[in-house]
Amino acid sequence: MHRGDPDWLAHSRRGDGPPLVLIHGIGSRWQVWEPVLDEVARHRDVIALDLPGFGASPPWPEPPKPLATPGAVVHLADRVAAFLDALGVQRPAVAGNSLGGGIALELGRRGLARSVTAFSPIGFWGPVGRRWCQLAVGGARSAAGGLRPALPRLLASRAGRVAFCGLFYGHPGHLDPDESVDSAAALADAPGFAVARAAFAGWQVRRETTGALDDIPVTVAWGTRDLVLPYATQARRARAALPAARHVPLAGCGHLPFADDPQACARLLIQTY
């Protein structure tokens, strides 16, 4: 499959072993997984992709109107499934973060994944939690766009990274300055952001609609310092909706735990079936 094919998505593929698909969150890109990729690729054939409208992938085709509940997650799961089918990858292990965690769970619900690992996935919120998530990510995108000329200077300092990236990371001062600038630019520029954010309102994981998730290994991992999807409330909802899953707290980690504790995150991904 080549760039320009209708099902093509930008992606990085490396390693050898059983296939493992990695799906990023809203406003992000496949590079968010870089802190764990080399280690995980020693054990798995890793496919880290850019969702349509994010990173280097082309904008998604216009979804059906009105965007049907549950909106973006179902539509993007369709696109990921078509991409994997075009690659000839059948029922891989799938892992995702935030929006990508919701997509991973949807693929598992459909029986298209042999296992699912979801890091701080969307969908375990009430109305207040969902609205807070929308406001948080929307505010971060506005800040990235508004401050863009100043970002290289701002993010060159530890204090600047703490102030700008602290919403998403437990230890933002440890981030690479150049990578922080690139990630902020990707957030500001993502053409798929607005539709995906608006469609959060239609997505929720409920015990009665978990489908094939009850029949496969599922791990839900949550940073205990997650400020976007707070651990205390949303991880509790996840345990209620997915009682058979393995639920793992990631101590001291934020919403994007891979840079906060790459060893712990890599272990969870390597343990996928």
Tell me the CATH number at 195.
3.40.50.1820
Judge whether 92 lies within some domain. yes
pLDDT for residue 195: 85
Number of domains in the chain: 1
The pLDDT assigned to 247 comes to 97
Q: Which pLDDT value is given to residue 71?
A: 62
Q: What is the pLDDT of residue 246?
A: 96
- Is 3 domain-assigned? no
Residue 65's domain spans which residues?
11-270
CA distance 108 to 179: 31
Structural domain contains residue 186: yes
Residue 190 lies in a domain: yes
Is there a domain that residue 6 lies in? no
pLDDT at 70: 46
pTM: 0.95
Domain presence at residue 259: yes
- The predicted pLDDT at position 61 comes to 62
Give 57: exposed, middle or buried? Use CB within 10 Å, 0-12, 13-18, 19+. buried
Q: What is the pLDDT of residue 203?
A: 79
Q: What is the mean pLDDT of each run of 10 residues along the chain (273 residues)?
A: 79 96 96 97 97 91 51 87 95 97 96 97 93 95 95 96 96 95 95 87 80 94 97 95 96 98 97 79
| CA neighbor of 221 nearest in space, from 99, 90, 101 | 101
260 lies in a domain? yes
Question: Phi/psi of residue 19, each to 5°?
Answer: -70, 140
Q: Is residue 1 part of a domain?
A: no
Q: What pLDDT is attached to residue 69?
A: 43
